Amino acid sequence: MKGNEKLSEIFNQNPYMAVIMVDKDGKVTFINETYSKVLRLPPEKVLGRSITAITPTTQTAKVLRTGKAVTAYNWNINGHQMIGCALPMFEGDELVGCFAYSISLNIWDSKTLFERLIAENNMLKEVAHKYHTAKYEFEDLVGIDMSFLNAKSLAQQIAQQPQTRVLITGETGTGKELFAQAIHNASPRANCPFVRVNCAAIPENLLEAELFGYETGAYTGAKKGGRMGKFELANNGTIFLDEIGELPLAMQSKLLVVLQEKELERIGGDRPIKLDVRVISATNRNLPKMVENGLFREDLYYRLNVVQVEVPALRNRQADIYLLTEYILEKLNQRLGTEIPRISREVSEILQKHHWPGNVRELENVLERAVSLAFMEKTEILDKKHFDFLCRKSTVPYPVGKKSLKMMVQESEEKIISRMLEENGFDKVLTAEALDIDLSSLYRKLKKYKMMTN
């Protein structure tokens, strides 16, 4: 390991702290003088060897197996009574080793030192999970519409039941992930990971590895040492399965087994890994209809849909549009460094009349564009001229006449996709992100409506 001389300089200064590091295979890569004396072995007899061959009762093996810290355990060896801590070391999501230290109980200030090391351990765990956190809380869910308040109230109640699975339904852009994050942050699992998985964005041939992980040599291209899957990363916390309706049938069967057994096996693995994970899923699709058509497993649907929270569309929340506009403007001004806190009465009427097919996400995008235009003009109020692009959209008539609902929906979808393509300079990646669909879905729709562009 690089930097061993520096580590020796740091950790050899304290004769009461025994420190050792191992790689992901359990081979010792560093040992300080105190640990060497406790073992009664010179460093050259330890480095490069398996830690379990040296100390069979070591907790580092458990850390390497589970990816979780083991703290405040008693460790008695060769007449030394110590308190030990073993911490996983990560590079991104990949477990790369373990850092273990033990403190002698013979020193008078061991309690103070132990408390400081526990604090450091908590800090390290916080860093390890920084990419798997939920930032939104229930106070971020703004609205006074009764249907919205009912959904929010149900979500607040179910948050207190950390084992209960939740299915969040609603159109694209309504804020389903915000609800999921708020549920996690209001639950007893709030201090544990919140791991998001977009089921539509992961290629089918990689889904199993992403969700359940794999061992060394599981398949061609698998990383040495294996990798933890999203479920393992979420252990003790929450996993959010977004766009669950896009999950292939074969994967649905494997997910069902994991939910039933509350354990998984990595690809290429031969041992079960116990799970304590809350599952929150979300979809904008009609899952009961998909069940009828054989596209979604009925047993999985009932496993996921223990409690359903339906987030209403923005066009059905007329009372919330102005309230949301004020809230979003405040956030935009903070983020963009602008000072444009108000909209004119005419703009308020425009926003009320718009159909909002993209829901709250569309409102955010519309306001950000208007704020950018107003900022360039050095004005402090959003006026009609800053929403000309929205006014032009609103004049597009909705299909009427003797047409089926399916045909009307398709015509509306085609108009929306065409409009978003134009707004994003015909960049398909940006357009897919703006529509909150995966790129492959956008390509299918472009082909369907004969809108393919270079």
In this structure, the answer to whether residues 50 and 98 fall within a common structural domain is: yes
Q: What percent of the chain has pLDDT over 90?
A: 42
pLDDT in tens, 85-100: 999 988 877 889 999 9
Average pLDDT in the 298-325 region? 95
Say yes or no: 387 and 419 in one domain: no
Same structural domain, 161 and 291: yes
Q: Are 192 and 237 in contact (CB under 8 A)?
A: yes
Do 296 and 179 fall within a single domain?
Answer: yes
Q: Which are the contacts of 365, defined by CB distance < 8 A and separation ≥ 6? A: 358, 434
pLDDT at 122 exceeding the cut of 80: no
Of 71, 102, 128, the residue at which a domain comes to its end is 128
pLDDT confidence of residue 136: 93
Residue 68 included in any domain: yes
- Report residue 118's pLDDT band, with 50, 70 and 90 as the boundaries: low
- Number of domains the chain is built from: 4
Q: Per residue in 146-176, pLDDT tens?
A: 999 999 999 999 999 999 999 999 999 999 9
Q: Identify the pLDDT of residue 55.
A: 86
For residues 23 and 165, state if they share a domain: no
* pLDDT (tens digit per residue) in 189-240: 998 899 999 998 888 888 999 999 888 777 766 677 788 899 998 999 999 9
Domain boundary among 290, 310, 330: 310
What value does the mean pLDDT take over residues 298-320?
95
Q: Is the pLDDT of residue 388 over 70?
A: yes
**Within a domain: residue 133?**
no
Last residue of a domain, one of 310, 333, 359: 310
pLDDT at site 427: 77
Q: Do 124 and 148 reside in the same domain of the chain?
A: no
Q: Where residue 384 sits, what CATH number does that domain have?
A: 1.10.8.60
Distance CA 126, CA 120 (A): 10
Same domain flag for 432 and 385: no
**At residue 15, does pLDDT exceed 80?**
no
Same-domain check for residues 336 and 406? no
The CATH number of whichever domain residue 441 belongs to comes to 1.10.10.60
Do 150 and 259 share a domain, yes or no? Answer: yes
Instruction: Tell me, yes or no, whether 446 and 359 share the same domain.
Output: no
Sign of CA dihedral 237, 243, 248, 249: positive
Average pLDDT over residues 404-431: 77
| Amino acid identity at 255 | L
Mean pLDDT over residues 171-194, rounded? Answer: 94
Confidence band for 2, pLDDT divided at 50, 70 and 90:
very low
CB-facing half-sphere around the CA of 416: CA atoms within 13 A: 21
CATH classification of the domain holding 48: 3.30.450.20
Q: What is the mean pLDDT of the chain?
A: 84
- Residue-range definition of the domain harbouring residue 150: 138-310
Q: Are residues 273 and 162 in the same domain?
A: yes
In the predicted structure, residue 454 carries a pLDDT above the cut 70? no
Mean of the pLDDT values across residues 59-68?
A: 88
Residues 421 and 387 in one domain: no
List the one residue out of 341, 295, 329, 305 whose CA is nearest residue 168. 305
d(CA 144, CA 358): 20
Q: Which tens digits make up the pLDDT trace of 317-355?
A: 998 999 999 999 999 999 889 988 889 999 999 899 888
